[in-house]
Amino acid sequence: MYQKILVPVDGSPTSDHGLDEAIRLAKLCHGRLRLLHVVDELSLAVSLTGELSATLDWLGMLREGGARILARSAERVRAEGLEVEVVLVDTFQQRIPDVVASDAAQWGAELIVIGTHGRRGAERLFLGSDAEQVLRRAPVPVLMVPARQEGATAA
């Protein structure tokens, strides 16, 4: 059913949980995964110290970190016998949800699987939700995988 599954990853436990679900689904559907990591401008903005060289070093570190996240995630997928490709995006012209939606359309994804913190109330209002914005912008169905609750065990 879903042969091309896009999975945004950021290395967080929530993202990893979303990847676990995407792996399970890809195995059931004999699909393949495309892992996407976006170096976001918020991380870069936090690093601004007034020195351009420090900012460039931080950008390089963010790219290296993203490459490590993608490599580690791809290893997990390959260990399950699935096809995987990885994409690192560091354009600051778009927000993360826009990059995800654009990549899904360009690649021809049939599904996006994304981990979500499941924030509610004031926390959601102030922090926003990239997952929610992906859901709003996505050209394909989105499976939102809620974060594991503390003390919960895997099914």
Q: Dump pLDDT digits (tens) for 80-106.
A: 999 999 999 987 778 889 999 999 999
Q: Kindly state the tokens that stand for 5.
A: 């599954």
Domains of the chain (ranges; CATH) run 4-146 (3.40.50.620)
User: Any residues with CB less than 8 A from the CB of 54 and at least 6 apart, and which?
Assistant: 47
Contact between 34 and 7 (Cβ < 8 Å): yes
Q: Dump pLDDT digits (tens) for 18-59.
A: 999 999 999 999 999 999 999 876 555 555 555 555 556 777
User: Any residues with CB less than 8 A from the CB of 71 and at least 6 apart, and which?
Assistant: 86
Higher-pLDDT residue of 69, 119 = 69
Q: What is the pTM of this model?
A: 0.83
Distance CA 57, CA 7 (A): 27
Among 61-65, 86-90, 110-114, 123-127, the range scoring the smallest mean pLDDT is 123-127
String of DSSP letters for 95-155: -HHHHHHHHHHHHT-SEEEEEE----HHHHHHH--HHHHHHHH-SS-EEEEEPPPTT----
Contact between 35 and 74 (Cβ < 8 Å): yes
